[in-house]
Amino acid sequence: MVAAPDSLVWELVKNNNSFMRKKNGRSSRSGSIRFSVERGNLTSRSTYKYSGLANSKTIDVTATDDNRATLTLKTKKAGTSGKKGMTGIALNKDFRRTEKTIKSQATDNYYRPDLKNAALAKYTAVYKSNRVAKGVKKVAPVKKGRN
Amino acid sequence: MAARPLVTVFSLSGEKSGETTLPAVMTAPMRPDIVQFVHTNMSKNNRQAYSVSPWAGKQVSASSWGTGRAVARIPRVGGGGTSRSGQGAFGNMCRGGRMFAPTKTWRKWHRKINSTQKRYAVASALAASAVPALVMARGHKVDDVPEIPLVMDTSIESAKKTSAAKDILASVGALADVDRASDSKKIRAGKGKARNRRYVLRRGPLIVYKSNDGVEQAFRNLPGVELCCVDRLNLLQLAPGGHMGRFCVWSQAALDALNDIYGKDGKNVPEDLMANADLARIINSDEIQSVLNPAKRANKKYLRKKNPLTSLKALAKLDPYAAAARESEQRAEAARQGNKAATLAKKRGVAKAKKQYKQAGKDFFEKISKQGDVCADGFNIGL
């Protein structure tokens, strides 16, 4: 609880943790891709930068059950508490407004400016999926023969 | 580790009821390698011996027929009147023979581990149990737990009923982990299911107490829950599978006892190799930044190549005068265009004059080449 430092936690956790998913990679370079599905991981990638376990400050944008989006940030108490470790901000406004919220949350006080672009990108994806789920947006059907 | 942080103590109904200081063990270095080593060796210590029967395959009086009988030379069972006679015996390759290297009971089943290593491992595991990230990484569901390490009032030790125990855990958010364990109960894959190890389930919270006033019996029937007395902390429970970070629920008496067990009079708390392991802070500290060279400029970006013959901007990069030259050329061209009519006319005039001149010459030639009498007009070439 001396709040284990980020780099140390990453070293302990990078090779085995319960959130790691290894999938077959389909590129010429990789035989398997490592994903990490913990809360707080923005891109689900298993790297130090995006890890929701190792970092004391994380940003995540997720969709909730009722097709809305939430922005979760790690609080200062994440080093001691499970419950108080994360705060959620509901993103219910229109796209431009939430974009501003995400940008400000990421960059104010130098919270996690390196995640700003990834957070915005994820919000776009979440927003689109929410609209599809609500039926507002139709997904273009994939033409036959193209995969 | 000057002033150690305070840990909240929760009452049995889940509200904050006090505070204690974090024991020194929880700041011990976390060494997964030592924990793994000690765990693999420790888990060998409750094995039971197995072996094949010492006389298996040897209770035959067989002897080789030797050479010259058109059969392989292994010992063969003597006698007659039964299909067994003449069959090979004794070899590991023979049917009914003894196996290769028959397993013996005096195999080394248990392992000695140095006490210091064992204590180090336990200290590491305790330290890891105090880091929420590591507990989550091990797989425990602690998203609703208000604080880790989770310390409950000492009255938990006198819990008597399992239903009460369940409520205690629920009030503190620990029931999620118990549910995880109970949902995971499955029949074991493999022969173990027929060998009295039928079910497997995940490990839930580990309740650590100082004195048993009923805790054991209250909590032991909850799936996944294990109990442990502080005096007898077991690495196999603190780091199941060799992985640090078990979710532990402490009673206040137990947590405070840790200060005595691991302290000046008790066991030694191992020292950190790095006093400050926070690399980011070290790198960004004044002491280091003030001595570093200035940051190098990032490599030049290589944009797509543009052909100077077709792109004016690319040409301008190579030949700065090209733009000016082009401009003056254009101006001259425009001027030329303007004067085009005049110059054309001039040219035409010149051409016309030339023509006329030529025509005049021709006329003259024609005139003078007319046939006639030169002296008709008195030698005057009248023109």
ipTM: 0.88
pLDDT for residue B11: 94
- Is residue A123 within 8 Å of A98, Cβ to Cβ? yes
Residue A46: list chain B partners with CB under 8 A: none
Comparing A94-103, B14-23, B368-377, which segment has the lowest mean pLDDT? B368-377
Find, among A12, A111, A14, A115, the residue nearest to A57 by Cα.
A111
Measured between alpha carbons, how far is residue B220 from residues B26, B145, B160, B204, B236 in Å? 26, 21, 11, 11, 17
Asked whether the beta carbons of residue B5 and residue A2 sit closer than 8 angstroms, the reply is: yes
Higher pLDDT, B21 or B338: B21
Average pLDDT for B315-344: 88
- Is residue B84 within 8 Å of B13, Cβ to Cβ? no
Please report which confidence band the pLDDT of residue B171 belongs to, taking 50, 70 and 90 as the band edges: very high
pLDDT surpassing 90 at residue B176: yes
Interface test with A, best of B22, B126, B148 (most A CBs within 10 A): B148
Question: pTM above the 0.80 mark?
Answer: no
B148-169: pLDDT as tens digits? 999 999 999 999 999 999 999 9
Amino acid in the structure at residue B227: L
Find, among B128, B118, B116, the residue nearest to B43 by Cα.
B118
pLDDT surpassing 60 at residue B2: no
pLDDT surpassing 60 at residue B296: yes
pLDDT surpassing 60 at residue B254: yes
Asked whether the beta carbons of residue B131 and residue A13 sit closer than 8 angstroms, the reply is: no
pLDDT surpassing 60 at residue B223: yes
Average pLDDT, chain B: 91
Asked whether the beta carbons of residue A83 and residue B7 sit closer than 8 angstroms, the reply is: no
pLDDT surpassing 50 at residue B258: yes
pLDDT surpassing 90 at residue B379: no
pLDDT surpassing 70 at residue B98: yes
In chain A, the residue whose alpha carbon lies closest to the alpha carbon of B23 is A1
- CA gap A95, A126 in Å, rounded: 11
pLDDT for residue B1: 39
Asked whether the beta carbons of residue B281 and residue A80 sit closer than 8 angstroms, the reply is: no
Asked whether the beta carbons of residue A83 and residue B146 sit closer than 8 angstroms, the reply is: yes
Average pLDDT for B318-347: 88
Residue B276: list chain A partners with CB under 8 A: 5
Please report which confidence band the pLDDT of residue B200 belongs to, taking 50, 70 and 90 as the band edges: very high
Over chain A (147 residues), the average pLDDT of each successive run of 10 is 79 91 76 87 92 90 88 85 86 89 90 92 92 86 75
